[in-house]
Structure 1
Amino acid sequence: MKIALFTDTYHPQINGVATSIMILEKYLVKRGHEVYIFTSSDSHADLLQESGKVYRFRSLGAVFVPERRLAIAGLLRASHLMEELGIELIHTHTEFSMGLMGKLLAKKYHLPCIHTYHTMYKDYLHYIAKGKLIPPSMVGTFSRLFCKRTFAVIAPTEKVKNQLENYNVNEQIRTIPTGIDFAAFKRRFDQTERIQQIKKQLGLLASDRVLLSVGRIAAEKNMQALILAMPDLLKQHPKTKLVMVGDGPAKKELVQLTKQNGLSAHVLFVGAVKWCDIPLYYHMADLFVSASTSETQGLTYIEAMASGLPVVAKNDPSIQDLVIHHKTGFLFQKDEDLSHRLIQTLLHPESLPVIKQQAKRHINNLSAEHFADQIERLYEEAIHVYSTDHHTLRSLNKKERLS
């Protein structure tokens, strides 16, 4: 199959959507398919390395998600590429400019269009006039209109599927969780020296207990809860450090919050790191911690589990089948409960090996291979249906002309 993936975020950007697309592309190519990425421009992209595989379109920064970019031109060029590359199916991963472009081209060339609904936009309304301009109901209308006339909509979790159903999306919805490349997160002996180098650079001692946060630093991720939990935690475990990997619009505010609470020696902001180095941070930590309730799937939770890192997370429908309290991880209900949950978890390290083993077994069905297999079957089904419908339509048109 010849497949075009339309997205407004892609490598070298680091986020859940970009990671999902990279995994999908890699495993479809391994199966012999031709996969092309249609995405927005990025000044950090390696255009030489991407040549012939990734097609970028001139873009501007998005208001609602500052790190994302919206394409402002290129429909004619993309149309020519559809013909030149012989594209058979379009898979959109955004509801904005590149997604709209993908849908227009699918209609023009009578191609099946699959859409993955990655983002819970109601959690991002604060970026537009501080949430006072666009009501949540408008998100539902917008989502429903975009999903219209797609062959299928992919929801990464049941939480997303339920939300789409609440938006009255009538197209068929398939729940297909994004898979993880488990091999990338398996600890190797040759990583030991590099892990020690990172710990040294961060000033971490062998006696320190390391909490890890990985992801976009933004208001909807509720990362201030992690910082505000530290004072109580430090009373019981004074040698604890919180390492925050990632960047984003809330970083400056969180750095200031850290200083105001006298936590600069205990909360370390690493910034964005290369995707290939992310596993090293999982391997150097003692616990992965998150207070977010805006996840569509929680890929970082799965990465942590695959790395053998216990997860402490805020309870949310998006992870109800993933993080099971005292079985595959630890949950807390309210932000103010986080410090107590961390204190108790660190007080009982003897329980962690069993949690790690159970978590790894629990995520076996979230492999990248399984993910690619489900997507591949959906693609084949869509192409078969569209080719059959197109053949029927041509036959009917021919009969009408003859009559």
Structure 2
Amino acid sequence: MLEKSKKVLIFTTAFRPLLGGSEIAIEEICKRLNDFSFEILTPRYKKSFPADEHRGNICIHRLGLGNKLDKFLFPLRGMLKGRAMLRRGEVKLLHAYQASYGGGAAVLLKIFNPRKKFILTLQEGKSLARQNRFIKFFRNFILKRADTITAISNHLKEYARDINREAELFLIPNGVDFKKFYAARSVDRQQLGLKESDEIIITVSRLVSKNGIADLIKAMVRAKAEIPELKLIIIGSGPLETELKNLTRELNVRNDVLFLGAKEYEEIPHYLKSADMFVRPSLSEGLGTAFIEALAAGLPIVGTPVGGVVDFLKNDETGLFCETGNPKDIAEKIISILSNRELRERLIKNGLELAQKYDWRYMAEKFRQIYLSPH
């Protein structure tokens, strides 16, 4: 049996089979710390999701009745479940991902157990400056009670420091399974209805306004005037899907833009390998892990200087910056990369070297040190 100091209780607003950047980070880090045991508490959301599930050194507890209310009731349910586990002496450390519903459950448990170490990881990708007063109060309440805070970007690290000057603060970005993305086989272009001669842009993005996909489609139309064989692959789903599809019809590029929907995370490397470049003109980002995954797959990238993107994208070295909300500028950067072989090869080479430094094994080791720290 593992010693109690190596049993960690994790609170997260979502987890498998619902996977985003935060959920992938939890799984990738946990499975690399196989000398630790992790109890993960998360809302259930759907009745088809098992209430309890074991995956290696991870035990997942999905709380609730399997409906939309589970998220809103999770702070209370998560606290009660965690309290019962603490009373049985099963865990020592509390670790919440994001100052959201998961963080709410953890902070309530911290209030009743002030001596338990509370670690908070900030993964937020939304614009925190635009949050309403209630959400701001809720986030600050959680942040101020954390003993240790990790942030995936310098942007979030500075945000945390302004709110909690007493906590230990660490920069630990999300990582990438470099070998998986670098060595992946390409999806057959013919299966996608594409030609080998096509120049393919790919983006992996939730279809929400902050990711700037409408700007990318408009930019693609402009760039296509210079590069007629240009195509765009969009992987992801979201509330703007119908609106974006209508936009491709209005701009007469319906046959040049492929909406492939959400894909299993394990499939993403293969689709990246089928493309020639990655673009996401985001309005805000927590870090932008999809960019790092694209670098690991050997793609040149174009992104905006927002959030954590500036931590790894160095203009003309590891990618090209484009202006937010400016399809003309985005198009110019696309054309620059696809028409300049020397630039493209330099960006790919530098990007691969950078992506290796973001391998998950390095990030997991940083969390190991935090978990073992007595403070």
Task: Give TM-score, length-normalised by structure 2.
Answer: 0.88
Which structure dedicates a bigger proportion of its chain to helix?
1
CA distance in 1, matches of 2:143, 2:238: 29
Larger-Rg structure: 1
Cα deviation for residue 294 of structure 1 reads 1.4
Alignment of 1:18-97 (within 5 A): 18-29=23-34, 32-43=35-46, 45=49, 50=54, 53-58=59-64, 60-61=67-68, 69-72=71-74, 74=77, 75-84=79-88, 86-97=90-101
Structure 1 residues 47 and 139: alpha-carbon distance in aligned structure 2, compared to 1, 3 A threshold: closer
Cα deviation for residue 272 of structure 1 reads 0.7
Partner of 2:159: 163
CA RMSD of aligned residues (A): 2.4
1:309 aligns with 2:272: no
| Equivalent residue pairs, number | 361
Letter in 2 for 1:8: T
Structure 1 residues 82 and 167: alpha-carbon distance in aligned structure 2, compared to 1, 3 A threshold: closer
Q: Contact 1:140 / 1:167 at 8 angstroms: preserved in 2? A: no
Cα deviation for residue 274 of structure 1 reads 0.8
Cα deviation for residue 81 of structure 1 reads 3.1
The answer to which of 41-50 and 141-150 deviates more is 41-50
Report SS of the residue matched to 1:320: helix
Report SS of the residue matched to 1:53: strand
Cα deviation for residue 293 of structure 1 reads 3.2
Q: Contact 2:284 / 2:307 at 8 angstroms: preserved in 1? A: no
Cα deviation for residue 80 of structure 1 reads 2.4
Cα deviation for residue 108 of structure 1 reads 3.1
Report SS of the residue matched to 1:220: helix
Q: Determine what percentage of the aligned residue pairs are the same residue.
A: 24
Q: Contact 1:28 / 1:35 at 8 angstroms: preserved in 2? A: no
Alignment of 1:232-243 (within 5 A): 232-243=222-233
What are the ranges of 5 or more consecutive residues in structure 1 without an aligned counterpart?
63-67, 126-133, 386-403
Structure 1 residues 184 and 70: alpha-carbon distance in aligned structure 2, compared to 1, 3 A threshold: farther
Letter in 1 for 2:201: L
1:291 aligns with 2:294: no
Q: Contact 1:71 / 1:98 at 8 angstroms: preserved in 2? A: no
Q: Contact 2:125 / 2:287 at 8 angstroms: preserved in 1? A: no
Report SS of the residue matched to 2:290: helix
1:5 aligns with 2:10: yes
Partner of 1:177: 173
Cα deviation for residue 26 of structure 1 reads 1.4
Q: Contact 1:211 / 1:287 at 8 angstroms: preserved in 2? A: yes
Cα deviation for residue 168 of structure 1 reads 5.8
Letter in 2 for 1:5: I
Cα deviation for residue 84 of structure 1 reads 4.5
Report SS of the residue matched to 1:119: coil
Partner of 2:3: none
Report SS of the residue matched to 1:216: coil
Report SS of the residue matched to 1:229: helix
Q: Contact 2:51 / 2:63 at 8 angstroms: preserved in 1? A: no
The answer to which of 170-179 and 68-77 deviates more is 68-77
Structure 1 residues 28 and 225: alpha-carbon distance in aligned structure 2, compared to 1, 3 A threshold: same
Q: Contact 1:124 / 1:220 at 8 angstroms: preserved in 2? A: no
Letter in 1 for 2:289: L
Partner of 1:112: 117
Task: Give TM-score, length-normalised by structure 1.
Answer: 0.82
Cα deviation for residue 255 of structure 1 reads 1.4
Letter in 2 for 1:115: L
Deviation string, structure 1 residues 195-221 (Cα, Å, up to 9, x no partner): 11xx33321111111101002111111
Structure 1 residues 38 and 248: alpha-carbon distance in aligned structure 2, compared to 1, 3 A threshold: same
Letter in 1 for 2:191: Q
What are the ranges of 5 or more consecutive residues in structure 2 without an aligned counterpart?
1-5
Cα deviation for residue 356 of structure 1 reads 1.2
Report SS of the residue matched to 1:326: coil
- Which of 361, 380, 387 matches 2:372? 380
Letter in 1 for 2:141: L
Partner of 1:17: 22
Cα deviation for residue 350 of structure 1 reads 3.6
Cα deviation for residue 123 of structure 1 reads 5.6
CA distance in 1, matches of 2:248, 2:51: 38
Partner of 1:353: 345
Letter in 1 for 2:345: P
CA distance in 2, matches of 1:91, 1:10: 14
Letter in 2 for 1:244: I
CA distance in 1, matches of 2:287, 2:233: 22
Structure 1 residues 14 and 241: alpha-carbon distance in aligned structure 2, compared to 1, 3 A threshold: farther
Letter in 1 for 2:23: A
Cα deviation for residue 285 of structure 1 reads 0.5
- Which of 210, 225, 234 matches 2:215? 225
